[in-house]
Structure 1
């Protein structure tokens, strides 16, 4: 289990992470979502003992990561696929890791095969690897010690569609066998396909968390009008906030009746009015983090 309690990190006056709390339980994949600069990577680095928190705590099975004996046998971590020695071959990287963790070196070939790196790829130096190959090697490294927990930051970057599908199956199987997965990714459709729980962060703070199905079921209403500008004015007059979708609609944090009445009072012709849950994770994400990307970019 991963337990994060009131975790905060400040850099001078800037709160990168502000009072974040959540848990990741065995047998589940937790999707950790947020726009760029929201604090996801900083939070994961604090969990792994790489960045000291300003306040709060993060533990793995009740113990801070830095106090774990031989942590690679307990937690598999992939935070940066490029953080491998570029002059070593893939097999050398894993062999050294196995020797460090006290793992039978025969597991090296098993791990390489598990992530789809063949013998030819294993003999190549990491500097010749594509980003997708580095992701696979990083995941092989994370799995080498047969850990019960995986902490992965954007592990699907650089993978082709087949590779993304493969990774989804691997993580789902890992969790179904009792493992715990904390997964950060910008690929919302893939997170939606594999995650059991969601933690959404914006501006350094948790803006929503819980069971995926429950969050998607309560993610507001999608509305689209013939006159988009007039719809925005009508919503503001009614005190309703919303986030634009990629197809010209707006996701509003209110029920359909409230949104419909606001549009009717303004005499608007609606083209669409439905629960946002049916649109999946993208609309939920846009609604919960509306404006955060712009705020972060302006800092």
Structure 2
């Protein structure tokens, strides 16, 4: 269980993260989503005790990370795959992690196989690894202590489509066995297929959170016309909140009939009018995060 309550981090006069609260339950994968610079990594670093919060609290199994005895046996963390020791081999990295945490060294070979690093790759120095190989090694390192919680920051970076599918399968299996996964990404499609819940952060603040169905319920309609400016003016004139998506379409938090009547009254010709959510969470994600600043 991960619980984050009103976390804030301020650097000088600027808020990197402001009043962030959410929870991740056992048996679930939580997708922590937002554009680059939204505050995802800062939030994860605060949860893991690497960055002290200005305000608020974060606990894992009811305890701040820094107070967990031998945390590697309870929480597997991958925040930066590039931080691994370049002069050691992949096998050495895992063996040293097992020794440091008191984990079973016999699991090293099994984990290397699990993450797709065969003996030849495991014997290479990490400095010769591609980013994708480092990500695989980082996941294995997070799993060495047989933790019940995984906290992962952009773990799909550098993975090819096959690797992303493998990662999803691994994380889904971990959660299905009762584990808790917090998975950060700026790419919605990487996590949409595996996450049970989503927390969307933009400009350092939580923009939305919930299951897919909860996020998409009541999101309104998508509308597109021959003249976007005229259509936007018609919607504003009717008091209908409309958010442009950058492609000439608008997401409108109103019934389709109200949108159609507003367009007809203004003489705006429509080319498209449909319920939002037809493209999954992507439309909603763009609308929530577009143009947000701390």
If the length of structure 2 is used for normalisation, what is the TM-score? 0.96
Q: What is the aligned partner in structure 2 of residue 181 from structure 1? A: 181
Mapping for residues 65-76 of structure 1, pairs under 5 Å:
65-76=65-76
Q: Distance in 2 between matches of 1:271 and 1:168?
A: 37
CA RMSD of aligned residues (A): 1.4
Q: What is the aligned partner in structure 2 of residue 125 from structure 1? A: 125
Q: What is the aligned partner in structure 2 of residue 144 from structure 1? A: 144
CA shift for structure 1 position 30? 0.7
Q: Distance in 2 between matches of 1:252 and 1:77?
A: 40
Mapping for residues 103-122 of structure 1, pairs under 5 Å:
103-122=103-122
- Count of matched residue pairs: 293
Describe the superposition over 1:269-295 as per-residue Cα deviations: whole angstroms up to 9, x where unpaired.
212111112211110101112321xx4
Residue 224 of structure 2 aligns to a residue whose secondary structure is: strand
Q: Distance in 2 between matches of 1:128 and 1:219?
A: 47
If the length of structure 1 is used for normalisation, what is the TM-score? 0.94
Conserved 8 A contact 2:107-2:144 = yes
Conserved 8 A contact 1:245-1:283 = no
Mapping for residues 209-224 of structure 1, pairs under 5 Å:
209-224=209-224
Q: What is the aligned partner in structure 2 of residue 31 from structure 1? A: 31
Mapping for residues 113-262 of structure 1, pairs under 5 Å:
113-239=113-239, 240-244=241-245, 246=247, 248-262=248-262
CA shift for structure 1 position 88? 0.7
Q: What is the aligned partner in structure 1 of residue 50 from structure 2? A: 50
Conserved 8 A contact 1:245-1:251 = no
Conserved 8 A contact 1:98-1:145 = yes
Q: Distance in 2 between matches of 1:159 and 1:198?
A: 22
| Structure 2 residues without counterparts, runs of 5 or longer | none
CA shift for structure 1 position 207? 1.3
Q: What is the aligned partner in structure 2 of residue 7 from structure 1? A: 7
Residue 99 of structure 1 aligns to a residue whose secondary structure is: helix
